[in-house]
Amino acid sequence: MDYYLAVDIGASGGRHILGWLENGILKTEEIYRFDNGMEKRDGHLIWNIENLYNNIIAGMKKCRQIGKTPAYMGIDTWAVDYVLLDRDDKALGVPYAYRDHRTAGMDKAVYAKASQEELYKRTGIQKQIFNTIFQLMAHKKKEPDILGRAEHMLMIPDYLNFLLTGVKHTEYTNATTTGLVAAKSGDWDLELTDRLGFPRRIFKPIVKPGTRVGSLRQYIADEIGYNLSVMLPATHDTASAVLSVPYDEDGIYISSGTWSLMGIERKEADCGLLSQNKNVTNEGGFGDTFRYLKNIMGLWMIQSVRNELGRKYSFGELCNMAEEEKDFLEFVDVNDESFLSPDSMTEAIREYCRKKHSDNLPETPGQLAKTIYHSLSISYRDTVMEFEELTGKIYPSIYIVGGGCNADYLNRLTAKATGKNVYAGPTEATAIGNIMAQMIGSGLVKNKAEGRRIIYNSTDIRKYLPN
C-alpha cells in the first residue's frame, strides 16, 4: 500500500495530510501543521518562502518518524503570486503577496497596451487587481532592474517544487490565474506578453496536473531519510478543492475558505462579453476542464473580525451569536474593494453601512457575524442566478467543500436564500483533491469520475433543504 502526501498551503497556514486507499475507501491522516501569513517588510506584504520550505521538510521528516513514508507527494497553494529567478536560479527581490498594494493603478498601465475587453476575450480571466498580469506590470514599472535580470518566473508551488527537485515548469491550473494564458490553446499568450513588455524567457513550459515532476534532490532525500516522486496536483488550491466535489458535474460548487470560489465545470471557456460583464472567470481545471467561477470575498471577513476580537470566540461561537441576533439585519456588498485588505475589517463594515446611510450599524460580535453571513448568502444567491442566466440551465443543488462547509448557520442561510439543496463536505477538500490527482497520475485511480465516486463513498455529506 502506497501513501500519498498532500502538502496543502493556504494564506494562514499549511498542513501535511497523508492519504491512502483501504478497500476502496479513501483514508486520510493529518501529520503536521504549521503557520503561514503575509509579512510586512519595507512597507510591502510578502511571503516567507524559507519558512514554507523548512516546514515542508519538517512535515516530511514527521512522516518518517511515525513510520508512514509516502511514495508520492504534491504541493498546492494559493494562486497568482510568483518568484523571479536569475540565470543562476537565485531568487530576485522578494515574493510579494497578493494583498500588497503595489498593483494599484497597474490596470491602467496594462490597458494602455491591451484593453480589458481584449484581455478577457483572449484569456477568459476576470479582472482582479492582484492578478499576475498586474503584478508583473508593477515589477516592470517599479523594479525594472529585477524584471530585466529575471530568467524564470515560477508560481509559488512551482518554486517549491523546484527547491525540492531542481525541475522548473509551470502547472496549468495555477498558470491560468495569471491572466497571461490563452484560453483556446492552454499555453502562454506570448504575443500578449510581448506587447506588455514581459520577457518571453521567464515563462516556463506549462504542464498538466497529474504529471510526475521528479525525485527529490539527493541531499533532501538524505536529510529526511527517504525519496519519493513529486507529483503535480492541481497546484491552485481551488482547483484541487473542485476535484474533490462529490457530484456528477451537474451542480454548482462553492470552495469555501478565505475566499468563496463559486462556479461550475465546463469543457470550454466562455470568453464572451456577457461573461465578462458578470465578472466570471475561466480558470483551468483538472482533466481538461475550465472552472467557470466567481471570486467572492468569502470567510476572510469573519476571519479578520475574529482576529480583531483577539480570537476570543471560535467560528462556531460566532455563528451561534449571529443566530441569536434575531432582530438585527444588515447587508453589505462582500465584494466591495474596501474589504480586500482594510486596516480594520470591523470598521470597514461599519463605514460601508454609514456610506449607504444605514441607521443599523453592527456593533456587537454577533451583529458583525450576522451581517457577514447574511451578506455572503445573498451574494451566493445572486451568483446562482447569474450562472443560470449565463448557461441557460437550472442547477438543483449547491455543493460546499472546504473549511467553510462546517459553518452550519451559513449553510442554512445559503439553502434558504438560493432555494437550492445544499450539500456540505468534504472539509479537507483541497488536500483530498490534491491526493486524488496524485492517485490518478500514478495510475492507482483510473480517472476523475472514479476518483469522485471514491470521495463520495468516503465522506460524510450533510444535506440542507431550502425550507
Given 237, 270, 288, 460, the catalytic residue: 237
Alpha-carbon span 102 to 80, nearest angstrom? 14
Residue 236: name the closest of 301, 189, 181, 193 by CA: 181
Decide if 237 is catalytic: yes
User: Counting every residue, how long is the chain?
Assistant: 467
Task: List Cβ neighbours of 188 (8 Å cut-off, separation of 6 or more).
Answer: 175, 180, 181, 182, 203, 206
Distance CA 57, CA 90 (A): 20
| CA distance linking residue 25 with residue 337, whole number of Å | 43
Phi first, then psi: give them for residue 236, nearest 5 degrees: -75, 120
Helix boundaries (H) for 171-284:
172-176, 190-196, 218-224, 237-243, 273-277
* Partners of 97 in beta bridges: none
- Cis peptide bond N-terminal to 426, omega within 30: yes
* Cβ(16)–Cβ(76) below 8 Å: no
Of 426, 79, 403, 4, the closest CA to residue 244 belongs to: 426
Contact 254, 400 (CB under 8 A): yes
Residue 115: which residues within 8 A CB-CB, separation 6 or more?
none
Distance CA 290, CA 173 (A): 9
Which distant-in-sequence residues (6+ apart) come within 8 Å of 248 by Cβ?
none
Active-site annotation, residues:
237
